[in-house]
C-alpha cells in the first residue's frame, strides 16, 4: 500500500525457512454451507489492490457487511474519494457512514482489516473525515475525528479525539478501543507527536501507552498488540529499519521483537491470529536467487508461536486471511486463488474454496468471497464453514 508506506517507513530484521506440506484430503465434516449472494461487484466496489483482500468485513454475527465504495469527482477541483458503507445482508439496505470521504483506499482497507465492529456486531468504531461531503480528506493533510456508529439506530456519536490520521480498532474482546492518532508536520508524519491511546468502551477516557507505531491485529489472548515501529536511528537495534514488536498494552511494555526483513508486507497484509491467540501469521519477504542468479525479493508468511516464543514455521505462496473455526488453525489464500485451512501443529492443509473464487475475508465460521458467474459478472458472497 503506497499511501501507508509513505506514512510509516517500513524495514527490519531476519530469520530462517521451512517447507509447505501437501494438501490433506478434504474432511467430510468441512464444507461450505448457507451461501448467500450479497451484491454484484461493480467497478466502484471492486478493490484491485492485493486482490481486494480485507477490503470488506462481516460483523461477528455475520449479519452486516462493512465495505468501501469509490465515488466520482464532484468537480474538476476535487479528487475522487472513497466512502464507508454498511449493508444489512437480510434486507439489502445500505447505510453511508458519516463524514467526508477518504482520499485513500489504502487507508480504508487497513482500517477494515482491523476490528471495526464490537464483539456483538452492534456498533462500529470509525474514522470520520472532517470536511465537506464531496471533498475527500487527503491522508495526513486534513483532519479526522474518532466516532462510533450504532447499526440499529443509525446514530453517530463523536468521540473526543481528532488528528490528521485516526486509525481505530476494538481489541479482540470488544471491551477496549485502540487508536493510533498520527500527527503531521509540513504534510509529513511526525512520529514524536503521534501516539497510541487506549480506552475502555463503557467509559471513554483515553490513556496513552509508551510505544508509537502502527497497530496491527490485536491478540485474542490477553492485552497483546503487534505494533509496526517506524525507523529509529537513536536505537542501535532498529536504526534505519523498522521494527515489529509484540506489546503488552496493560503492562505498557514491549515483550519481544518479532523477526522481519526490509521489504516486508506488514502494511499491505494485516497479520492474523488463530482464534486461541497462540499463532500469529504475518507476511514478510526474503532474498531469493532467480534463474539468472540475480537476487530478488519474494513474499513469505511467517508463523510465530506465542506460547513458546519462537518462530514456528515459514510458508511460501500463501497469504493469511483470518482465523478458522478450529481455534488453532488459519485460513490461507494460495497464490493461484481459492482458500485452505492450515493446521500449524501438523502442517496439513484442507481445501475450502476452489481457485475460481477470490477470498476477501474470513473470521471463524464466516467466509466472504467473490465468484465469477457464467455471464462473466462477479458477485460477493457470504458463507459458513461447517
* Global confidence as pTM: 0.88
* Of 5-14, 137-146, 154-163, 368-377, the least confident: 5-14
Which pLDDT band, with edges at 50, 70 and 90, does 10 fall under?
A: very low
pLDDT mean across residues, the chain: 87
C-alpha dist (Å) from residue 267 to 107, 113, 164, 200, 322: 10, 10, 19, 26, 16
Task: Give pLDDT, residue 313.
Answer: 97
Band (12; pLDDT cuts 50, 70, 90):
very low
* pLDDT value of residue 231: 72
Indicate whether 1 pLDDT > 50: no
174 pLDDT exceeds 80?
Answer: yes
* CA neighbor of 68 nearest in space, from 48, 78, 82: 82
Position with higher pLDDT, 104 vs 287: 104
CATH class for the domain made up of 2-385: mainly beta
Does residue 27 register a pLDDT over 60?
Answer: no
Q: Which helix (H) or strand (E) segment is 298 a member of?
A: strand 295-305
Cα–Cα distance measured from residue 172 to residue 336, given in angstroms and rounded to the nearest whole number: 31
List all residues 6 or more positions away from 312 whose beta carbon is below 8 Å from its beta carbon: 279, 303, 304, 305, 344
Buried b (16+ CB within 10 A) or exposed e, 57-79: bbbbebbbbbbbbbbeebeeebe
Q: How many CB atoms lie within 10 A of CB 368?
A: 25
Higher pLDDT, 329 or 188: 329
* pLDDT at 236 exceeding the cut of 70: no
Share of the chain above pLDDT 70, in %: 87
Query: What's the rounded mean pLDDT across residues 230-241?
Result: 57
- What does the pLDDT read at residue 78? 57
Q: Kindly indicate the confidence band of residue 68, based on its pLDDT and cuts at 50, 70 and 90.
A: very high
Amino acid at each position: 500500500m503506497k499511501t501507508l508506506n509513505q506514512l510509516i517507513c517500513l524495514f527490519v530484521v531476519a530469520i530462517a525457512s521451512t517447507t509447505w506440506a501437501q494438501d490433506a484430503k478434504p474432511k467430510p465434516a468441512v464444507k461450505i454451507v448457507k451461501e448467500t449472494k450479497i451484491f454484484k461487484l461493480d467497478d466502484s466496489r471492486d478493490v484491485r489492490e492485493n486482490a481486494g483482500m480485507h477490503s470488506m468485513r462481516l460483523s461477528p454475527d455475520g449479519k452486516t457487511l462493512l465495505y468501501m465504495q469509490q465515488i466520482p469527482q464532484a468537480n474538476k477541483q476535487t479528487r475522487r474519494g472513497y466512502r464507508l458503507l454498511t449493508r444489512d445482508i437480510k434486507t439489502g439496505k445500505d447505510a453511508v457512514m458519516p463524514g467526508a470521504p477518504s482520499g485513500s483506499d489504502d487507508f480504508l482497507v487497513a482500517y477494515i482489516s482491523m476490528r471495526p465492529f464490537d464483539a456483538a456486531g452492534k456498533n462500529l468504531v470509525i474514522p470520520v473525515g472532517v470536511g465537506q461531503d464531496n471533498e475527500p480528506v487527503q491522508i495526513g493533510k486534513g483532519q479526522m475525528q474518532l466516532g462510533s456508529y450504532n447499526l440499529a439506530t443509525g446514530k453517530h456519536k463523536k468521540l473526543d479525539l481528532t488528528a490528521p490520521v485516526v486509525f481505530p480498532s476494538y481489541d479482540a474482546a470488544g471491551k477496549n478501543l485502540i487508536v493510533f492518532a498520527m500527527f503531521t508536520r509540513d504534510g509529513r508524519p511526525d512520529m514524536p507527536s503521534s501516539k497510541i491511546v487506549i480506552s475502555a468502551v463503557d467509559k471513554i477516557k483515553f490513556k496513552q501507552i509508551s510505544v508509537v507505531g502502527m497497530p496491527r491485529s490485536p491478540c485474542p489472548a490477553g492485552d497483546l498488540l503487534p505494533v509496526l515501529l517506524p525507523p529509529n536511528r537513536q536505537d542501535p537495534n532498529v536504526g534505519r529499519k523498522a521494527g515489529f514488536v509484540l506489546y503488552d498494552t496493560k503492562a505498557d511494555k514491549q515483550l519481544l521483537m518479532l523477526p522481519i526483513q526490509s521489504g516486508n508486507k506488514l502494511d499491505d497484509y494485516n497479520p492474523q491470529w488463530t482464534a486461541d491467540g497462540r499463532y500469529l501469521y504475518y507476511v514478510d519477504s526474503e532474498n531469493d536467487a532467480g534463474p539468472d542468479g540475480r537476487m530478488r525479493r519474494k513474499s513469505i508468511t511467517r508463523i510465530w508461536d506465542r506460547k513458546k516464543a519462537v518462530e514456528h514455521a515459514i510458508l511460501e505462496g500463501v497469504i493469511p486471511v483470518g482465523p478458522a473455526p478450529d481455534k488453532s488453525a488459519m485460513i490461507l489464500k494460495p497464490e493461484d486463488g481459492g482458500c485452505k485451512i492450515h493446521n500449524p501443529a501438523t502442517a496439513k492443509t484442507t481445501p475450502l474454496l476452489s481457485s475460481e473464487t477470490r477470498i476477501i475475508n474470513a473470521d471463524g465460521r464466516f467466509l466472504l468471497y467473490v465468484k465469477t458467474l457464467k455471464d462473466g459478472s462477479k458477485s460477493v458472497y457470504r458463507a459458513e464453514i461447517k
